[in-house]
A and B are shown apart, each in its own frame.
Chain A
Amino acid sequence: MESRAARVILIAASLLITAFFALWGVIDPQGMAAWARTVTTRAFESRGWFIMLTVTAILVGCILLAVSRFGRVRLGPDDSKPEFSTLSWLAMLFSAGMGVGLLFWGVAEPVSHHIFISEFQPPREAAVSALFVTNFHWGMHAWAIYAATGLAVAYFGFRRGEGTLISGAFLNTFPDDRWAGVVGWLANLVAIVAVAIGVAGSVAMGVFQVERGAQEVVGAAPGELTMFVFALLFVGWMVPLMVDLRRGMAVIANATMLGAVALMLFILLAGPTHYMMNSITESVGIYLWNAFEHGLRLFTFGDWRTREWFREWTLTYMVWWIAWAPFVGVFIARISRGRTIREFVLGVILVPTVFSVMWFGVFGGAAFNLIFDRLSNLSFIVENDLEAALFHMLSVYPLGAVTRVVAAVIAFLFVITSVVSASYVLAMFTSDGDPDPRVRLKLTWGALLGALGLAMVLSGGIEGVRAVTALGAMPFVFIILMLGVCLIRSLKREEEGE
């Protein structure tokens, strides 16, 4: 396809597809969420094995690549040096992994699993399993998905000079094949749709979380502030897109990340510290021992409720990470120029995983402490009002009034930084990889992400949001596997001296 025509069609097709979903979702949010749930449920039931196999294969592939002779290959010319010091690189990896999701699910997820697993195990054993499952969802498998995408983008972008588009891998590996152009174009389209829908899902999650925090602070009724919070967020990300605040955004992103870390440390120090340290240490052991086995678990012989739980949590999470992969992949690729493949893979997979285990060890550990010491009816709250979980826990701790405001502000800023970066990446994808895309295009994506986010907010609950996100991401599963093949083929060819 001629490149200009291909680019125009790519912009038109991606804008049309996302606008279609946004419009449908705003007009009939419940209808869209119900449809998405039906489609994803059937797909997960029928092809769940493929998703788990893919995710495990990606993790094993990344590890093998890191320890193999290819681990020494640099993501850039052989003499290139890393742009950032190792410490600030690791800090930036942290921040990439710290989305609003960690805040939303820190308390809610371990407790949700606990409620379900307690039906099969004694409650105190179920708490260990609940923390393990949560860590599994946020651990190495998730980060391997980002690492694989980021690795392909970085290798083909910086070492092969193909730019940061997903299609670069296909065009560079199979330059003489006509199909590579078509598949590359499709890969760009699929990546754009996955990012748009995936980030919109986080917008909805952020709105629910900020609204719940605002409710607690001003004492409003449920639902009363939804539109106000959404409008505030919308303005919050459109303004930085209008005036180029690149440096300012980095400062906000770092401040948000530091705020989240400070909140975690506060809970760790203000609560029963030894209890949470125990919980973190125990989580590490159980995670290391069980993660690989769990990566291929499909609950084949479980009853329908167990299978439903598995679909709605594990499969949905894995697909959610895949939705975010092109976006996070491009970000971590950009900060990793000059690193070796070994450094990249180990840094991207291990560092955020360790952080997640600490995060859930603290928030989950604190939550279980409240539940088992009968200091709070947290299980009941999570069962009936998921968004309230974090704020309820903070209210039990000292300085509850302050920490609840801080948590709401952090959630707010997480959404702003995610949407600003996502709009930038989407604008870059739709302007042929231009690292400085036009403001108009960034604003268009900012507005579309807003409309999609609004559609998901209107669907009324997190289940609908997750189903729509899963649906948007599923096609990228195929692309990510093909990227892996392109990468290994190119590395081998490079070794043979072409």
Chain B
Amino acid sequence: MMGPVAVDPVIDTLMNVAIVAFIGFLIWLYARKD
């Protein structure tokens, strides 16, 4: 067992923002005109 996990709050925020941006990119990729 590893015990409670501490996540670096700055890295956590940056990574989550990056993933949301990636989801935005996917939506753009789907919707953009040729």
Q: Which residues does A use to contact B, with CB under 8 Å?
A: 37, 41-43, 45-47, 50, 304-305, 307-308, 478, 481-482, 485, 488-489, 493
Contacts and interface: CB of A to CB of B under 8 A. Distances in A.
15 contacts: A41-B2, A41-B5, A42-B7, A45-B5, A45-B7, A46-B16, A304-B4, A308-B2, A478-B22, A481-B26, A482-B26, A482-B29, A485-B26, A485-B30, A489-B30
Contacts of A45: 5, 7
Nearest to A486: B29
A203 B5 CA distance: 30
Nearest to A311: B5
Given A42-B7, A46-B7, A308 B15 contact: no
Given A304-B3, A305-B1, A47 B15 contact: yes
Given A304-B3, A304-B4, A308-B1, A47 B26 contact: no
A46 B12 contact: yes
Contacts of A47: 15-16, 19
A493 B30 CA distance: 11
B15, B19, B22: residue with the most chain A Cβ atoms closer than 10 Å: B19
A45 B34 CA distance: 38
Interface of B: 1-5, 7-8, 11-12, 15-16, 19, 22, 26, 29-30, 34
A258 to B, nearest CB: 40
A304 B26 contact: no
B16, B22, B29: residue with the most chain A Cβ atoms closer than 10 Å: B29
Nearest to A45: B5
Contacts of B34: 493
List 4 A-B pairs, minimum CB-CB distance, nearest first: A304-B4, A45-B5, A46-B12, A485-B30
A489 B34 CA distance: 10
Contacts of A485: 26, 29-30
Contacts of B26: 481-482, 485
B5 A304 contact: yes
Contacts of A488: 30
B11 to A, nearest CB: 8
Nearest to A37: B2
Contacts of B11: 46
A85 B28 CA distance: 40
A42, A305, A478: residue with the most chain B Cβ atoms closer than 10 Å: A42
Nearest to A44: B5
B18 to A, nearest CB: 9
A46, A47, A305, A481: residue with the most chain B Cβ atoms closer than 10 Å: A46
Contacts of A41: 2, 5
A488 B26 CA distance: 12
Contacts of B15: 43, 46-47
Contacts of B3: 304
A42 B1 CA distance: 14
B7 to A, nearest CB: 5
